[in-house]
Amino acid sequence: MTFTSSHGTGRGARLAAAAALACLATVLASCRPQDQLAPGSVDRVGVVLLTQAHAGAAAGQATFVALGTARAERLLAEPFGEQLGTCRVASAAAPGTGPASPAAGGNRLLAGDPTLHVGGSTYASLTRDENDRYHLAGATGPLPAALTVDIAATGGFPAFAGVPVDTGSEPVVAPGFDANGVTVDTVFGWTPTTGKAAVLLVGSSGGVSYSCLADDSLGAFVFPDATRQELVDAGFATGTLDTLGRITTTQARSGSALLMVNTLRLAYPGSL
């Protein structure tokens, strides 16, 4: 997966969503297989990603899979796995490679027509394409508060009713942070939140790009030593923080199935 400079909100949203999906896919792939379905294990997973950029209409996608082997329930306690504090570096000469898709290691399942509600009204639905992937349809405005998800048991994925979604908030860079003066020694800063969330940082310098996942509650991040060396070797000079995203996760269980609803709220400090 290659990340390039993106001052356009549409392209920035696509790149950030791709990075978020890569992180979520890695979390699924990193869970150790279990020999049998022990208590607290899952054998079916639904991953929903809702993306919101500024005040525009939300976008979204989802995949539902049956895992080839049951996975440990530590997904619940560690929604971002070991990805927090890590980065990827890519360049035209050596593109970065993303992990397998969320469907890796399992077969896609049908989940009927998942619907998002606000109170008694329908906000949007997730519609299935010919590849059994789901896409958000019908959303005409930003992600609202008090959003819930309903899934009817009309496919291989079980029913979920009224699952509340943490829609998060748009991240804001810390006062004085220069999004257009990023170097390998930059201390990234933003206004943190108190809940369990992650911050996605995507930026570039010339033909070199980076994407990092940080702990939101810390409010700050520096490139790990290995990443700094990668950037130096790739010729990274002074670059930008093009996209800043906040990922919040809601998780629910139904029997041995796990539903992960993730919200990605985006800001574009490098375009200011």
Q: What is the pLDDT along the chain (272 residues), one digit of tens a residue?
A: 333 334 445 555 666 666 665 555 554 444 433 344 456 788 999 999 999 998 788 999 999 999 877 777 665 567 787 889 999 999 865 545 433 333 344 689 999 999 999 988 999 999 999 988 999 999 989 999 999 999 998 889 999 999 999 999 999 999 999 999 999 999 999 999 988 899 999 999 999 999 999 999 999 999 999 999 999 999 999 999 999 999 999 999 999 999 999 999 999 997 65
Q: Helix, strand, or coil here: 40?
A: coil
Query: 16: Cβ–Cβ under 8 A, 6 or more apart, which residues?
Result: 51, 200, 202, 243, 245, 264, 266
CA distance 244 to 135: 23
- Structure-block tokens of residue 160: 């979920």
**Token couple for 55:** 């005040």
Q: What distances in angstroms separate CA 91 from CA 5, 7, 95, 210, 241, one per listed residue? A: 11, 18, 5, 9, 16
CA distances from 167 to 29, 146, 164, 257 (A): 25, 8, 9, 22
* CA–CA distance, 117 with 123 (Å, rounded to integer): 5
What does DSSP assign to residue 181?
-
Task: Mention every residue, 6+ apart, whose C-beta is less than 8 A from residue 64.
Answer: 44, 45, 46, 47, 108, 109, 110, 111, 134, 155, 156, 157
CB contact set of 48 (below 8 Å; sequence gap of 6+): 60, 61, 62, 114, 126, 134, 149, 259, 260, 261, 262
